[in-house]
A and B are shown apart, each in its own frame.
Chain A
Amino acid sequence: MASLIRSARLASNAIFQQRLPAKLLHTSAKSHYAAANSPPPAEGFMPGVANSKLIKHTQHDALRNPELASVANGETKKMNLFQSVNDAMAIALATDDTACVFGEDVAFGGVFRCTMGLSETFGRDRVFNTPLTEQGIAGFAIGMAAMGSTAIAEIQFADYIFPAFDQIVNEAAKYRYRSGGEFNVGGLTFRTPCGAVGHGGHYHSQHPEAYFAHTPGIKVVVPRSPIQAKGLLLASIRDRNPVVFMEPKILYRAAVEQVPVGDYELPLGKAEILQQGKDLTIVGWGAQLYVLENAIQLAQKRMPGLSVELIDLRSILPWDVETVCNSVNKTGRLLIAHEASKTQGFAAEIAATVQERCFLRLESPIERICSFDTPFPLIFEKFYVPDMIRCAEGIERAMKF
């Protein structure tokens, strides 16, 4: 215990940061609050994402990606993540007459503004508010999709998806199977903001991908950036399977990218290697990738020459076993980090599969850097989440085993 308290304090009072050159860290010391009297925004702050190397700041940088070949000659526009999600939905609505967007307060733009302007453009009959009724929203969306329509339903926070859990797990995921293929809800997508924001407490912070990953019949996707969010959301909407699309809400306004304005999809079930390396494979998704990016820099500072392969899993279900295992077969070491708590978190599934596939190649135990097995805390959030320091220590442990 004492050591936990010590390491937690260390992280909290930023002694650690003093030991690092400022430029190493994306975080800067200045206050991130806007006007003196305005409360912090519901989506929180993740300063430094804007300066991340994972963010595509220029059009050239953005369009170099072979996955964006279909729009490589098109325009790009500066968008943050909520704007790119909005843009994806606008395209879905414009290209598919059956598509509707609905959820609590979405006609006004939603809590995080992702649906801003859509009801004005596409009409209140296609973009509409529902009553406060998650189970109802889910069941309604499933019925609509069973008719062959495209249903894009928003669950205001991932923490509120549990009243809809039965509908998603028992109805949406099994419709095709239990009707022998007569019906399916392929046109169904649930969008839901997830993850820690610094002050969300028990019910505005959870990252529940693992619950859904235990459910054959649905897909689960978590994007990391504006470009990714647009392409993955369009793919999710058009994929002929129901998809739970979890948007890390701390990223909504954290950074802008040059997002292609055209219509494009990014592949589901496919991870992306963000950085090639040979000593250690690191797997993450969503906002955790930016924490990992910092952790890698920190570890490299302590272990000069360290070469890390960083992978964004992007799809949690199905997940890209090939890309991860190929990488581990190359590096011999694996670290997985996620914001959800450790036991039965999705890292456990990855670790289990990797030890099956890469047993003889593993040179150190697989590291899982996750939140503690407690409810998501309010006051202890910064001790709870797998921050840069914990991740960097995990890297060191894996390398020095």
Chain B
Amino acid sequence: MSLSKVAAKAFMPSAVRTFASSAVARDVNITLHPQSFEAYKCDAPSLELTLKKEELVHMYNSMVTMRRMEMASDALYKAKLIRGFCHLCTGQEAVAVGMETALTEKDKIITAYRCHGFTYMRGGSITSILAELLGRKAGISGGKGGSMHMFTPNFFGGNGIVGAQVPLGAGIAFAQKYLGEKAATFALYGDGASNQGQVFEAYNMAKLWDLPCVFVCENNRYGMGTAANRSSANTSYFKRGDYIPGVKVNGMDVLAVHQAVAYAKEWTVSGKGPLLLEMETYRYGGHSMSDPGTTYRTREEIQHMRSNNDPITGLKQRMLDFGVVTEEELKAIDKAARAEVDKAVEESKASPEPDVDQLFTQIYIKGTEVPHIRGREPEEGIRF
């Protein structure tokens, strides 16, 4: 979503609004780290980019808010208010944020179950995300789905079956092409998911028909407890499209992600067919809430990533180096993000559970339901 459109949305955090209005728009010329990209069968994206100060602030604010939101989810889960399977994206914020800032509303995204961050970036309010996790009426899916089932008009979810979303991405891209939209689909999956057969089936269709589909592998080094090199014969995920060019991206640097996604979009919308992006990233927490995340990797490894590669700290440092913000301004953003999430926690907790008749709705489109969804006895089902 472009920044101006984002700013108009209700979910736009207040801190950024104040900030943006008080700031003089100015361009910041950025040179990315030379090792930000590695290309396969294509040129690497340029290391030079120019962003506006507000864009940088927006990126920072989004990542900070996202992390706060996931911390709140974690706490709500531990307080036993959230139940079910819940996968947090803490550590991987740069992927969702850098991607969104390079896309427009016309572009589509589909991903797996680690979807809270994408939902937020695609316009889902924090309250609607937390309420969904809590199984409340105010949830983005009416409280019927929970953690893995979040959607917005240009975000196709939120999918619990590993790998299943990838061919859907190819289909969405085909429809975009068919409808003549100058837009792309970004289909995300993990290093573990990359081994599902349907991922390769999707690659083939996308290349065969030159679909505007960008396959994005979020390589966070593990699929549950299995390290990438134990599951994948080739861990250069950006090369696994064989006949599809690819770029490996430092997925812990939001600016590199932004640049690579802009490049990929341009590539595929210009008719060159699909592209693979491999985002090298890292999840700080366990796979899901029931995994402490420390049995198959060392605490030192996690600590190392947190202290040396954190996407938020990284961007913060660069913004200070560019001289576009002060420590105080960043602190104000942090504080506002925290307040916003705290407020959303209260709002979502205040929302009631969905009505019981919701159990029976949205199975078939209204008016074409089987005449009777049945229960144990006639009056327990629902007649349409």
Contact = CB atoms under 8 A, between A and B. Distances in A.
Chain B's interface size range is: 35 or more
Contact of B363 (A111, A133, A375): A375
B226 interface: yes
B356 A5 contact: yes
Given A131-B232, A132-B195, A135-B197, A104 B380 contact: no
Nearest to B356: A5
Contacts of A199: 83-85
B135 A3 contact: no
A374 interface: yes
Interface in B336-384: 353-360, 363, 370, 373-376, 379-382
A7 interface: yes
A138 to B, nearest CB: 11
Contacts of A343: 374
B327 to A, nearest CB: 33
B145 interface: yes
B169 interface: no
Interface stretch (B2-10, B48-56, B159-167, B172-180): B159-167
Interface in B208-228: 223-226
B85 A204 contact: yes
B380 A3 contact: yes
A202 B149 contact: yes
Nearest to B372: A373
A377 B144 contact: yes
A379 B375 contact: no
A379 B354 contact: yes
Contact of B224 (A104, A135, A377, A379): A104
Contacts of A200: 84-85
A41 interface: yes
B290 interface: yes
Contacts of B296: 108
B159 to A, nearest CB: 9
A343 B375 CA distance: 10
B91 interface: no
Interface in A115-147: 129, 131-136
25 contacts: A4-B375, A4-B379, A5-B355, A5-B356, A9-B356, A39-B77, A39-B290, A42-B85, A42-B290, A108-B295, A129-B226, A129-B230, A132-B195, A159-B161, A160-B162, A201-B85, A201-B148, A203-B160, A373-B373, A373-B374, A378-B145, A379-B143, A384-B359, A386-B376, A393-B376
Interface of B: 77-78, 80, 83-85, 135, 143-149, 160-164, 192-193, 195-198, 223-226, 230-232, 289-290, 295-296, 353-360, 363, 370, 373-376, 379-382
Given A199-B83, A378-B144, 16 more contacts: A1-B357, A4-B375, A4-B381, A39-B77, A105-B226, A111-B224, A132-B196, A132-B231, A133-B195, A133-B197, A134-B196, A204-B84, A372-B381, A374-B359, A378-B83, A380-B358
Interface of A: 1, 3-5, 7-9, 33, 37, 39-42, 104-105, 108, 111, 129, 131-136, 159-160, 162-163, 198-204, 342-343, 369-370, 372-375, 377-380, 383-384, 386, 390, 393-394
The 5 A-B pairs with the shortest beta carbon distances in the complex, nearest first, are A199-B83, A131-B195, A203-B160, A379-B135, A132-B192
